[in-house]
Structure 1
Amino acid sequence: MAARPHNIPIFDAEVLLKCQNNLGEGVVWHSKSNLLHWVDIFASQLHTYDPKEGTHSIDKYPSKCLTYITPRAGKEGFIATFEGSLVELPPPTRPTEKSAHPTINNKEAVKVLSEPLDKKLVDDGTVRFNDGGVDPHGRVFYGSMGQDEKAPKFPGELWQIDLSGRQTKVLDEVGVSNGLGFSPDGQKMYYIDSRKDQIDVFDYNLSSGTAVNRRKFASSPPPLDNDHPTEGVYDGLCIDGVGNIWAARWRNGRVIGINPKGEIIAMITVKGSKGATIPCFGGPNLETMYITTASSYLGGEGDSDKYPNSGHLFSIDFGPSSPIRKILGPDWKGAERYRAGI
């Protein structure tokens, strides 16, 4: 075992489904159906998985990319983002095939809800939508990114649509709009722009839906060990039921757990995959963490042989007898992502 420059506990997630996504993202649990959903961005696919039955389905949409999904509160289907639009999607195909590569079902969006981005910049590939989030009242946040991640200008934006359909630009000059989530009391909004290797926090007014007083919450983590240096950037995140933030490290093969004070409490590895993209909690009692990953070629040259599990879906048990629960304590609980109220 390689020596470690820290005493932070490390746990290993395991491959759950060898789905070989190109860019797995947007993973979300739906407790009403007990199904897990995520997207493969550039394949424009919505994946649905039933952990109890081990069944899997794939819906494909006629867009350049499907980047973000959120279930709806009180309604079936999803709110989602294509490359330049916020859309309503129909309910997913019920998973029946026990296959990592089931039959692909072709579907179309129900309707377009919003197209706030500069159409020319979308059409010429300068910008596209990426990740998003939902606040406790059901307002939907959806952010864009500059597709040239080395460009000096940050052309991305963060938008919000409220329950009445009113659209508001929350941020501009965004590099890569990524993880977004809220503290259990709804008074803090955590946000990641992946062009800056940090997690930011805002004070959030749940009544008005406004975020103010942006500041740095967490910097890049220490190396995993002496053989695995800190690389990449923060990507997607989720928040558990006691307020801990769990943020994936793009090109660094791990998820970082951070308490509300900004202290790292645990690290979770996705061995054999360099591109952890986003975690979520799901399963019975919300005691399983699911983690999507990206194909090895997106991580760097020569990574295909070194990271054979890239693009697969991972999971790790957070149940009462699990090793990580011994660190988190008996009062820990998971949390489901909020659902869109529109």
Structure 2
Amino acid sequence: MSVEVVIPNATPGTGEGPHWDDSTRSLVFVDITQKNVFRWDSVTGSLQKVHLEDEVGCVVPCKKGGFLVAVGRTIFHLEWSSQKLTKLHEIPLKGVGNRFNDGKCDPAGRFWIGTMGKVLSFEPLTFDMEKGELYCLDVDGSFHKRLDKMTICNGLAWSSDHKTMYFIESIPGQIMAFDYDVTSGNICNRRTVVNFGEFDPTDPENLGIPDGMTIDTNDNIWVAFYGTGQVICFNPQTGKMLRKIEIPCKRTTSCCFGGENLDELYVTTAQAGSTEEEREAFPASGSVFRVTGLGVKGHPANVFNGNF
């Protein structure tokens, strides 16, 4: 196994939401706090950027062209070359400032996206609690709230048979599973498959805050842990930890499979909130990393398959 920097210091704020676009062999991702959306061409090595007007939680490609981007409390369609934004949906203000966070498309092409309360401080890391919600933008353009009274809605993944949806609530630190109806998009039978509890940075055994997530073709889930620089693989059926990857950056945020054979793991990281001492110890903070030689593959990423 090898861990390398593939896009150096791309996100001096909070890198997040990597999505491998198999059709163009490119990686799209965001810097939340710097308000940027990136597209990296793995063939040419070129990195393009679109700057937006508010914090951007995630980006996913659309089958009919362009991208869905979550900007502040609003979902837009982004036409990349012209940078034209078309507003689709806006959620109400809750508390001191909620915003969209992580989001992905399900196997039917619906866009699932969570929200979170405002970050009140980085040291210690505190949030406006229970202001998060989980939404679904259906392929017919309808917009539904599926969960509420969450704090940080985060990683999403679906099993190979499309019958289970996995979902991370970063605070208080849980990976949940739901029975999933891919035809209707309904979820039910909520249960916790891994419970990490509260993050204690003074405890060397603490894994960190579960953040973004992806799934491999064996239906094992790979979770990036914010605060400890790790990506950890779990069997969600048993909750057992299978494998651990150390990333030379404390603030690992999310991951996805990519590459020509979907056997490379791309990992986003953050620099926002770090101290000068931390940046000296981890100079690659804010870079995108690539992990190779894992011996596993991911699925082609789902894209939005609906109307705007």
**TM-score (norm. length: structure 1):** 0.81
Which one-letter code corresponds to 1:154 in the other structure?
E
Q: 1:278 and 1:57 mapped to 2: Cα distance?
A: 20
Which of the numbers 306, 315, 335 marks the counterpart of 2:281?
A: 306
Structure 2 residue 183 is the aligned partner of structure 1 residue 207? yes
Give, in angstroms, the shift of residue 174 of structure 1. Answer: 1.1
Which of the numbers 43, 46, 71 marks the counterpart of 2:61?
A: 71
Give, in angstroms, the shift of residue 336 of structure 1. Answer: 2.3
Q: Which residue of structure 1 aligns with residue 27 of structure 2? A: 36
Which one-letter code corresponds to 1:18 in the other structure?
P
Give, in angstroms, the shift of residue 163 of structure 1. Answer: 1.0
Total equivalences in the alignment: 295
Give, in angstroms, the shift of residue 39 of structure 1. Answer: 0.5
Go from structure 1 to structure 2 and tell me whether the alpha carbon gap of 1:312 and 1:152 turns closer, same or farther (over 3 Å shift).
closer
Q: 2:7 and 2:83 mapped to 1: Cα distance?
A: 26
Q: Which residue of structure 2 aligns with residue 17 of structure 1? A: 7
Match runs of 1:1-342 below 5 Å:
13-21=3-11, 22-61=13-52, 63-73=53-63, 75-91=64-80, 108-115=83-90, 117-119=91-93, 121=94, 125-148=96-119, 150=126, 153-220=129-196, 228-261=204-237, 262-271=239-248, 273-295=249-271, 297-299=272-274, 302-317=277-292, 322=293, 324-325=294-295, 332-342=296-306
Runs of 5+ consecutive residues of structure 2 not aligned to the other structure:
121-125, 198-202
Q: 1:219 and 1:166 mapped to 2: Cα distance?
A: 33
Structure number with bigger Rg:
1
After superposition, what is the alpha-carbon deviation per residue over 1:192-246, rounded to whole angstroms, capped at 9, x for unaligned? 111121211111111111111111111339xxxxx95425310000111221111
Q: 1:277 and 1:182 mapped to 2: Cα distance?
A: 19
Relative to total residues, which structure has the larger helix share, 1 or 2? 1
Give, in angstroms, the shift of residue 110 of structure 1. Answer: 2.7
Asked if the contact 2:9/2:285 (under 8 Å) is kept, the reply is no
Relative to total residues, which structure has the larger strand share, 1 or 2? 2
Which one-letter code corresponds to 1:309 in the other structure?
A
* Superposed CA RMSD: 2.2
Q: Classify the secondary structure of the residue corresponding to 1:303.
A: helix
Q: 1:67 and 1:152 mapped to 2: Cα distance?
A: 17
Give, in angstroms, the shift of residue 40 of structure 1. Answer: 0.7
Give, in angstroms, the shift of residue 49 of structure 1. Answer: 1.1
Give, in angstroms, the shift of residue 306 of structure 1. Answer: 2.1
Give, in angstroms, the shift of residue 298 of structure 1. Answer: 2.0
**TM-score (norm. length: structure 2):** 0.89
Q: 2:233 and 2:256 mapped to 1: Cα distance?
A: 12
Asked if the contact 1:87/1:109 (under 8 Å) is kept, the reply is no
Q: 2:67 and 2:141 mapped to 1: Cα distance?
A: 16
Asked if the contact 1:184/1:241 (under 8 Å) is kept, the reply is yes
After superposition, what is the alpha-carbon deviation per residue over 1:137-173, rounded to whole angstroms, capped at 9, x for unaligned? 0111111100146357411111111111111110010
After superposition, what is the alpha-carbon deviation per residue over 1:249-280, rounded to whole angstroms, capped at 9, x for unaligned? 01110111112422211111111x10111101
Q: 1:193 and 1:300 mapped to 2: Cα distance?
A: 26
Give, in angstroms, the shift of residue 304 of structure 1. Answer: 2.0
Identity %: 32
Which one-letter code corresponds to 2:246 in the other structure?
T
Q: Classify the secondary structure of the residue corresponding to 1:341.
A: coil
Q: 1:300 and 1:220 mapped to 2: Cα distance?
A: 25
After superposition, what is the alpha-carbon deviation per residue over 1:263-322, rounded to whole angstroms, capped at 9, x for unaligned? 211111111x10111101111111111000000x525674222221110010011xxxx3
